[in-house]
Structure 1
Amino acid sequence: MKIIIAGAGAMGSRFALMLHQAKNEVILVDGWQEHIDAIRANGLKANFNGEEISEKIPIYHQKEVNKVDFSAELVILFTKVMQLDGMLQAIKPLIGEKTKVLCLLNGIGHEDIIRNYVPLNNVLLGNTMWTAGLEGPGKAKLFGNGSIDLQNLGTAGKSDAQAVIEVLNKAGLNARYSENILSSIYKKACVNGTMNGLCTILDSNMADFGETTVSEQIVKSIVSEFFAVANAQNIELHMDEVLAQIHSCYNRETIGLHHPSMYQDLIINHRLTEIDYINGAIVRKGKEFDIPTPYCSFLTQLVHAKEQLIGAK
């Protein structure tokens, strides 16, 4: 399959490598010139579960991609949500009438932007529990296992998503169809809404945070706000499942020593975060439904304060 990975950061690099190794025709599109230059010069490098690998995968700056002769059958979105509209505008010439667009961004409400560029029948909304990190321009660190839940937002449903699921699974990405993707997205958002902001503010990996005596109380306070907002929208969540997913992040033998993507963006790379589309989204929806969200509001404010102190851009 001809695939565009729109956003060649840590997760985009993982998916590009795995799909490329499964013999798909993959190109990367990104806006970080140093990263683009490194991949062009040395290939996309990765520490892949302890093995050092390098693969030559074409990569383009989003400002030049409109000149590329490539008719995508599938686009996988991995941009930062603040960059989503600009990325879709850039790759619009490569999106055909039958191109499927799979959105795997963190956060809530991205389909409202995507439908301005792609018919709803071609939009797949999903979330992924894979993890990844960047050690520097052109070098990813990939470890652990993961999965993808996705749903076709159009009327065709599962049958229209099956070809994409098969391609992902041949690459070992463990995709499965969900009849209620919003529940999966909110479940993932609960993980991001705790691990990302907390580890960023506390300068901690997930395992160390989980071993503090106050971690459970903080996590439950934040998650309860996500549940209240989800319940107002008739989105079903189960507290034991969500807490189990969060607790699994503390395991030092799997992903516990990992610093979440928000930490990598802000603390390491001094880049603005997606906090407004995770905890901040719960604050906005809380106001809409008249639901108090003091913990999400405070964490959002703390992350924004940290952005300003660091001078994130």
Structure 2
Amino acid sequence: MKFTVVGAGAMGLRYGVLLQEAGNEVEFVDGWAPHVEKMRAQGGVYVNRDHQNQHLVPVKVFYPEEYQRQDQDVLIFFLKQMQLADMLKRCEHFFNDQQYVLTCMNGMGHVEKLLQYFKPEKVVAGTALVATILDKPGQVDFVGKPGAGTMNLANYTEKPDELTHQLVAELEKANFHPNLTTNFKGTLMAKVVFNSVVNTLCTLFEITMGEYAGYPGADEMSKQLIDEAYDVCERDGIVMLNTREQELASVNYVSKVANPLHYPSMYQDMSKNRPTEVDYINGYLVKLGQKYNYNAKTHAFLTHLVHLAEHTRQAQATDAQPAAQAV
């Protein structure tokens, strides 16, 4: 199959590189100049596996404005929620009504933006329990052994067609262990709930997933957030993929067994003074609950805490800047 990955960050590179190694034709589109220029200069991206076995993987990467190809089978979108709208505008010249779209972005809000450009029957969205880190421009680290992690995906229409099954087959070849469902909202919300626990708490306390799960009170904290999230989803009529108990088990398995040494993507953003996606995760649950007069107060409190941490870090960086220049 022919793929174009829009957003050559950590997850975009993991999906694109592994699909390429599985025998597919893959190209990348990205707007971050230091990253694009580095990959062009070195002839590809350096890939590590758990900080070892670094090797150069040749990739073709383009800026949005220079990319013209329109014969792709699938466009894969991996961006931060707040970046998507602008990138869609920059890329719309190579969109057409025959292309399928796959996205496994964190949070909620991206599907509505994609539907402004693509037919509902062409949109496939899912969740990826896969850990990956963009170490620096032109270098990415795939966390976990080959085949680590899982993913769920569903058609927006909840009616899988022939190309959807072809896509699933290629994702299986690439070792992503895809699970195709016919429950669109439930599939997406499973990852939102997971992230609302692990990403947010690990970010606030600057700890790995394993360190969080190792805290004796972690289960109680996780259950409080999961219960609140499920209360919201039930009011919206969303049928979740997992029971509350299964969701807690998933949090523990991924944190203790699959990726105990991993810092979630929200932490990576926070540590680099980039805006986090908390409004699209915990904040999304809060707003959804408000539609039904339900107060998801723990998620609201955590959303404020993350924004407070962002504000504090940015203020400290601003205060430190003149002193650094003086030296």
Answer yes or no: same fold by TM over 0.5.
yes
Instruction: Report the secondary structure of 1:148's partner residue.
Output: strand
The question of whether the paired residues in 1 share the 8 Å contact of 2:155 and 2:184 is answered with: no
> Which amino acid is the alignment partner of residue 55 of structure 1?
V
Aligned partner (choices 179, 183, 193) of residue 180 of structure 1: 183
Residue 278 (structure 2) pairs with residue 275 (structure 1) = yes
Residue 292 (structure 2) pairs with residue 260 (structure 1) = no
**Runs of at least 5 residues in structure 1 that lack an aligned partner in the other structure:** none
**Residue aligning to 1:10:** 10
Distance, in Å, in 2 between the alignment partners of 1:232 and 1:158 is: 30
The question of whether the paired residues in 2 share the 8 Å contact of 1:186 and 1:226 is answered with: no
**Residue aligning to 2:94:** 94
Aligned partner (choices 246, 249, 267) of residue 241 of structure 1: 246
Residue 302 (structure 2) pairs with residue 299 (structure 1) = yes
Moved more, 160-169 or 269-278: 160-169
> Which amino acid is the alignment partner of residue 52 of structure 1?
Q
The question of whether the paired residues in 2 share the 8 Å contact of 1:71 and 1:95 is answered with: no
Distance, in Å, in 2 between the alignment partners of 1:193 and 1:244 is: 15
Structure 1-normalised TM-score?
0.93
Shift of 1:221: 1.4
**Residue aligning to 1:105:** 105
Distance, in Å, in 2 between the alignment partners of 1:8 and 1:226 is: 31
Instruction: Report the secondary structure of 2:200's partner residue.
Output: helix
The question of whether the paired residues in 2 share the 8 Å contact of 1:205 and 1:257 is answered with: yes
Instruction: Report the secondary structure of 1:72's partner residue.
Output: coil
Q: Figure out how many residues of one structure are paired with residues of the other and give that number.
A: 308
**Residues 24-103 of structure 1 correspond to what in structure 2 (within 5 A)?**
24-42=24-42, 43-49=44-50, 50-62=52-64, 64-65=65-66, 67-103=67-103
Seen in structure 2, the aligned counterparts of structure 1 residues 58 and 70 have a Cα distance that, compared at 3 Å, is farther
**Residue aligning to 2:292:** 289
Shift of 1:297: 0.6
> Which amino acid is the alignment partner of residue 106 of structure 1?
N
Moved more, 102-111 or 157-166: 157-166
Bigger Rg, structure 1 or 2: 2
> Which amino acid is the alignment partner of residue 250 of structure 1?
S
Distance, in Å, in 2 between the alignment partners of 1:22 and 1:53 is: 17
Shift of 1:155: 6.8
**Residues 212-227 of structure 1 correspond to what in structure 2 (within 5 A)?**
212-227=215-230
**Residue aligning to 1:203:** 206
Distance, in Å, in 2 between the alignment partners of 1:91 and 1:114 is: 12
Distance, in Å, in 1 between the alignment partners of 2:163 and 2:255 is: 37
Distance, in Å, in 2 between the alignment partners of 1:129 and 1:232 is: 26
**Residue aligning to 2:322:** none
Instruction: Report the secondary structure of 1:125's partner residue.
Output: strand
The question of whether the paired residues in 1 share the 8 Å contact of 2:40 and 2:61 is answered with: yes
Distance, in Å, in 2 between the alignment partners of 1:155 and 1:10 is: 28
Q: What fraction of aligned residue pairs are identical, expressed as a percent? A: 30
The question of whether the paired residues in 1 share the 8 Å contact of 2:232 and 2:296 is answered with: no
The question of whether the paired residues in 2 share the 8 Å contact of 1:72 and 1:94 is answered with: no
Q: Deviations over 1:96-142 (max 9, x none)?
A: 22100012111124221111100111111211112211211111111
Instruction: Report the secondary structure of 1:112's partner residue.
Output: helix
> Which amino acid is the alignment partner of residue 293 of structure 1?
A
**Residue aligning to 2:313:** 310
> Which amino acid is the alignment partner of residue 220 of structure 2?
Q
Q: Deviations over 1:152-186 (max 9, x none)?
A: 22374344411211222222222231011322222
Moved more, 74-83 or 126-135: 126-135
Distance, in Å, in 1 between the alignment partners of 2:252 and 2:184 is: 22
Instruction: Report the secondary structure of 2:211's partner residue.
Output: helix
Instruction: Report the secondary structure of 1:51's partner residue.
Output: strand
The question of whether the paired residues in 1 share the 8 Å contact of 2:36 and 2:61 is answered with: yes
**Runs of at least 5 residues in structure 2 that lack an aligned partner in the other structure:** 318-327
